[in-house]
Amino acid sequence: MTDVPAKSLIQIARESGEDAAPEPVDLGSRVRELRKARGWTLEQAANQAGLARSTLSKIENGQMSPTYEALKKLAIGLEISVPQLFTPPVNGQVNGRMAVTKEGEGARTITTTYEHELLSASLTKKQMLPYRARVRARTLDEFDGWVRHDGEEFLYVLTGTIRLFTEFYEPVEMRRGDSAYYDAAWVTT
């Protein structure tokens, strides 16, 4: 394993994300693209969505702003969710990414309370920061204080027993196979 400074796990998470805001999606163009991808005429798509042909035409040409009810009908007709109407299209290519971290080959950070092993470090722009942690602390007094950061965390107990302490809940004893998903903005140890 490679030893890495303790602060690098958070740095890695932040530098792998994109800072720039995504371009807004043109709803009309997006609807037209989705319709054409299915090989549907304007009439077929309107019938499928339960909308008037003229309404769909106006949406596609940016001549009207649809109500939420019209958006729901459109999404159901196109067999997608409403948020997908506003999601930029994928460039038609498969972006299958994969990283394998063999046992003991992750970047390792050791502190007095934890041993962290960063997993899948070779992938950039991840939506999560996977790591395996071994709790070294045996009492709450061994921690310097509460830990708080942006994002969410998922905890899965592989072996042994731990006690999860959080700001808003009573401590929870967790054993092998137990898991917790929580907002990391509230403090934990």
DSSP 58-94: HHHTTS----HHHHHHHHHHHTS-HHHHTSPPP-SS-
Q: Look-up: residue for tokens 């140890």?
A: 189
CB 114 within 8 A of CB 137: yes
Closest-CA residue to 187 (of 108, 12, 158, 171): 171
User: For residue range 114-137, what is the model confidence (pLDDT) as tens digits?
Assistant: 898 988 888 777 777 888 999 888
CB 88 within 8 A of CB 21: no
pTM (predicted TM-score): 0.48
Q: Look-up: residue for tokens 């949406």?
A: 59
Take residue 88 and report the two structure tokens written for it: 């930029």
- pLDDT value of residue 4: 47
Query: If 0-12 CB within 10 Å is exposed, 13-18 middle and 19+ buried, where does residue 132 land?
Result: middle
d(CA 98, CA 164): 31
- pLDDT value of residue 96: 65
**CATH tag, 27-85:** 1.10.260.40
Residue spans of the domains in the chain: they are 1-20+96-136, 27-85, 138-189
Cα angle vertex 125, ends 121, 131, to 5°? 35
Strands (DSSP E) along the chain, which ranges? 2-3, 107-110, 114-118, 131-135, 152-156, 161-164, 172-175, 179-183
Q: Look-up: residue for tokens 């007094």?
A: 141
Closest-CA residue to 62 (of 10, 112, 24, 95): 24
2-3 vs 107-110, strand pairing mode: parallel
Q: pLDDT 10s per residue in the chain (189 long)?
A: 455 444 445 555 555 555 555 567 789 998 998 898 888 999 999 999 999 999 999 999 999 988 888 999 998 998 888 888 888 766 554 456 788 899 889 888 888 888 989 888 887 777 778 889 998 888 888 877 777 777 788 899 999 999 998 878 899 999 999 999 888 776 655
